[in-house]
């Protein structure tokens, strides 16, 4: 970004990506001389990363993150993160015929993971070894990639990144299959990582599925005081550095003139002039509605087509349960960071196909639900969160608007179904321990984020929308940036850094997708805080 003057960098959205964008800017610029302003429509920052209280129980929307200490250090933020003890994932394979489960614990370290896979299928020792070596190499190569590669960079990639080249059009499942691993339990175990990629292994780009696996091998973490602590600390730090944060500020238009951005308009009519905007909201809304499809199309038809055809990730349902003190969660084997109760054998892919049609096709014979017990890691009153993934927006939003009573009835019926499954296979008598319950549907997520599909993880990382095939971050409108995939907190923090790196000609990550030294901390000037504190957000209903 060469000429900037005193016009601010405007960031639309105060979630993880928006906060990371603004903080990265303020860490590399004097934010008093070159201001940055975050516009957030909600009364609190954090977006999907938030916490809420019900009758003394603390619940988080988000459930775990890989190690994000590199980002916290870069921002100069001190936040106590608790490493989840035990396995990163525990798979519970339910057999509806015999009414039994068997479990497989997936450890959060590569050596333990290798031991697990070879114990499950000793006859596949060679393929397992080759797969894990390849996956580590792929992760290493991905870190070397340039975000906006030149022709020379592309030639360099072709010559030095064989794993990236080999997997560039593959799904994670095709990648796994290419090693000849056929064992059913191995497929279940590897498929579990796809849950964090927002697509089944049969759909997600190989590089993403593999990167999730590698990053989960560094452990799973939660902030000690609840996930809301993360955005609150980011906000505090941003304000210390001179950044400006406006909550309750809904952007309804991104203004352009002759192919370049000139400002944004808020819903109350206020105009903010700027030459540079980073939008971190649903890209279809930002480009199609805030810029306007006609405007975008008149500038770059191909980009407009890409925005139109690009698919967002699915939504989900969260069932938060506050439990009485009589329950002993620690005795139930649910201490892993993420427990997955599933009927297995392609269940996720089956449910996903139904969700693509806007339907839910779970039954007592085919279901999947993730079970997390945050209080086991961070203490406090016993809590349990059930995550039902995937779930399409379908008619949830319309139903809530048209017939609130029927909406309540249906969401409670779905919640009951999954609570019963957990009771049947994992926690005998669960229902008798429930003191508080709060259910969020795809309509909740759509309303909260402003994404009409209630998408939980931004753009869907199919191979045809990933890597070189993705929607470019530098939009065809000069000065307007749309950070890449925000598949979770870790990638969102990175996406914000990538956006500023593009704005500041490589000053942050050296033009790389991830940057060389994720451990390096950046010293930044201090200045007084300006913004009133906010309370915990209520996100249910
Ligand atoms: C239920 C749930 C559980 C999850 N669990 C995990 C997990 O365990 N681990 C993990 O890593 N990730 C998890 N994720 C995903 C993770 O939370 C997201 O990937 C990440 O928070 C996305 O951050 P973001 O800033 O890109 O988007 P968002 O969080 O959606 O933030 C966008 C912000 O923009 C604001 N906004 C929208 N439109 C406008 C507008 N017109 N004007 C002004 N502001 C606007 C919104 O209010 C919002 O605050 C979960 C997501 C959900 C929904």
Looking at the structure, tell me whether residues 123 and 166 fall in a common domain. Answer: yes
Q: Is residue 472 part of a domain?
A: yes
At 230-283, the pLDDT tens digits run 999 999 999 999 999 999 999 999 999 999 999 999 999 999 999 999 999 999
Looking at the structure, tell me whether residues 281 and 331 fall in a common domain. Answer: no
Residue 138, judged by CB atoms within 10 A of its CB (0-12, 13-18, 19+), counts as buried
Rg (CA), the chain: 23
Q: Is residue 59 part of a domain?
A: no
Nearest CA to ligand 1 atom 15: 488
Three-class SS of residue 144? helix
Higher per-residue confidence, 15 vs 513 = 15
Looking at the structure, tell me whether residues 321 and 277 fall in a common domain. Answer: no
The predicted structure's pLDDT at residue 182: 87
The whole-model pTM stands at 0.94
Looking at the structure, tell me whether residues 324 and 443 fall in a common domain. Answer: yes
Looking at the structure, tell me whether residues 96 and 132 fall in a common domain. Answer: no
Q: Is residue 368 part of a domain?
A: yes
Q: Are 197 and 389 in contact (CB under 8 A)?
A: no
- Asked which of 417, 439, 456 is the last residue of a domain, the reply is 456
* 486 ligand 1 Cβ < 6 A: yes
The predicted structure's pLDDT at residue 516: 57
* 18 ligand 1 Cβ < 6 A: yes
Confidence of residue 426 (pLDDT cuts 50, 70, 90): very high
Tokens of 346: 């392609």
* 10 ligand 1 Cβ < 6 A: no
The predicted structure's pLDDT at residue 189: 94
Ligand 1 center to residue 162 CA distance, Å?
34
Looking at the structure, tell me whether residues 391 and 479 fall in a common domain. Answer: no
* Maximal C-alpha separation, the chain: 70
Cα distance between residue 26 and residue 35, in whole Å: 8
Looking at the structure, tell me whether residues 98 and 33 fall in a common domain. Answer: no
Q: Is residue 72 part of a domain?
A: no
At 301-339, the pLDDT tens digits run 999 999 999 999 999 999 999 999 999 998 999 999 999
Is the predicted pLDDT of residue 518 greater than 70, yes or no?
Answer: no
Is the predicted pLDDT of residue 523 greater than 80, yes or no?
Answer: no
Q: Is residue 529 part of a domain?
A: no
- Asked which of 395, 422, 456 is the last residue of a domain, the reply is 456
Range of the domain at 333: 81-108+218-223+314-456
Q: Is residue 360 part of a domain?
A: yes
Looking at the structure, tell me whether residues 260 and 337 fall in a common domain. Answer: no
Ligand 1 center to residue 281 CA distance, Å?
8
Q: Is residue 237 part of a domain?
A: yes
The predicted structure's pLDDT at residue 6: 80
At 443-468, the pLDDT tens digits run 999 999 999 999 999 999 999 988 88
| Domain at 472, CATH number | 3.50.50.60
Looking at the structure, tell me whether residues 333 and 435 fall in a common domain. Answer: yes
Looking at the structure, tell me whether residues 329 and 437 fall in a common domain. Answer: yes
Ligand 1 center to residue 104 CA distance, Å?
31
Whether the CA torsion 168, 456, 251, 302 is positive or negative: it is positive
- In percent, how much of the chain has pLDDT > 90? 84
Looking at the structure, tell me whether residues 343 and 462 fall in a common domain. Answer: no
Domain count, the chain: 3
Looking at the structure, tell me whether residues 323 and 296 fall in a common domain. Answer: no
The predicted structure's pLDDT at residue 143: 86
Tracing tokens 């003139």 back to the chain, one arrives at 257
DSSP type of residue 428: T
Pocket test for ligand 1, best of 10, 12, 15, 492 (most atoms within 8 A of CB): 15
Least confident of 154-163, 341-350, 506-515: 506-515
The 10 Å Cβ neighbour count of residue 276 is 21
Q: Is residue 100 part of a domain?
A: yes
């Amino acid at each position: 970004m060469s000429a900037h003057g005193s016009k601010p960098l405007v960031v639309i959205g105060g979630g993880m990506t928006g906060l990371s964008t603004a903080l990265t800017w303020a860490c590399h610029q004097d934010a008093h001389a070159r201001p940055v302003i975050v516009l957030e429509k909600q009364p609190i920052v954090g977006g999907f990363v938030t916490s809420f209280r019900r009758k003394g129980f603390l619940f988080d929307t988000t459930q775990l993150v890989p190690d994000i200490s590199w980002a916290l250090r870069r921002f100069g933020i001190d936040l106590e993160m608790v490493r989840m003890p035990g396995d990163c994932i525990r798979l519970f394979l339910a057999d509806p015929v015999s009414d039994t489960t068997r479990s497989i614990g997936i450890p959060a370290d590569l050596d333990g993971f290798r031991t697990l896979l070879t114990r499950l299928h000793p006859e596949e020792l060679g393929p397992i070894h080759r797969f894990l070596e390849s996956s580590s190499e792929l992760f290493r190569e991905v870190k070397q990639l340039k975000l906006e590669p030149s022709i020379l960079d592309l030639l360099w990639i072709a010559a030095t990144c064989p794993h990236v080249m080999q997997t560039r059009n593959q799904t994670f499942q095709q990648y796994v299959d290419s090693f000849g691993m056929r064992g059913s339990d191995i497929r279940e175990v590897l498929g579990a990582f796809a849950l964090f990629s927002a697509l089944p292994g049969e759909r997600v780009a190989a590089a993403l599925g593999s990167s999730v696996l590698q990053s989960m091998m560094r452990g799973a973490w939660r902030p000690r005081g609840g996930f809301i602590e993360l955005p609150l600390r980011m906000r505090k730090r941003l304000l210390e550095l001179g950044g400006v944060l406006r909550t309750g500020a809904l952007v309804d238009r991104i203004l352009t003139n002759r192919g370049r951005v000139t400002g944004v308009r808020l819903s109350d009519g206020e105009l903010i002039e700027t030459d540079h905007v980073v939008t971190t909201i649903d890209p279809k809304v930002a480009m199609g509605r805030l810029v306007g499809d006609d405007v975008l199309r008149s500038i770059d038809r191909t980009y407009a087509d890409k925005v139109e055809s690009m698919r967002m990730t699915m939504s989900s349902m969260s069932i938060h349960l506050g439990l009485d003190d009589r329950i002993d969660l620690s005795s139930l084997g649910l201490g892993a960071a993420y427990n997955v109760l599933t009927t297995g054998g392609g269940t996720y892919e089956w449910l996903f196909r139904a969700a693509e049609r806007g339907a839910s096709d779970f039954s007592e014979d085919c279901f999947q639900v993730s079970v997390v017990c945050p209080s086991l890691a961070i203490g406090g009153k016993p809590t349990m969160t059930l995550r039902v993934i995937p779930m399409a927006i379908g008619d949830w939003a319309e139903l809530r608007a048209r017939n609130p009573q029927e909406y309540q009835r249906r969401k409670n019926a779905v919640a009951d179904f999954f609570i019963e499954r957990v009771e049947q296979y994992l926690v005998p008598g669960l229902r008798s321990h429930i003191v508080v319950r709060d259910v969020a549907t795809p309509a909740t997520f759509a309303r909260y984020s402003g994404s009409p599909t209630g998408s939980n993880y931004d753009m869907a990382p199919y191979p045809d929308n990933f890597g070189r095939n993705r929607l470019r971050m530098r939009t065809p409108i000069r000065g307007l940036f749309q950070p890449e995939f925000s598949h979770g907190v870790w990638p969102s923090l990175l996406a914000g850094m990538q956006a500023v790196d593009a704005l500041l000609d490589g000053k942050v990550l050296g033009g790389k997708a991830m940057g060389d030294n994720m451990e390096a901390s950046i010293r930044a000037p201090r200045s007084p805080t300006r913004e009133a504190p906010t309370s915990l957000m209520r996100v249910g209903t």
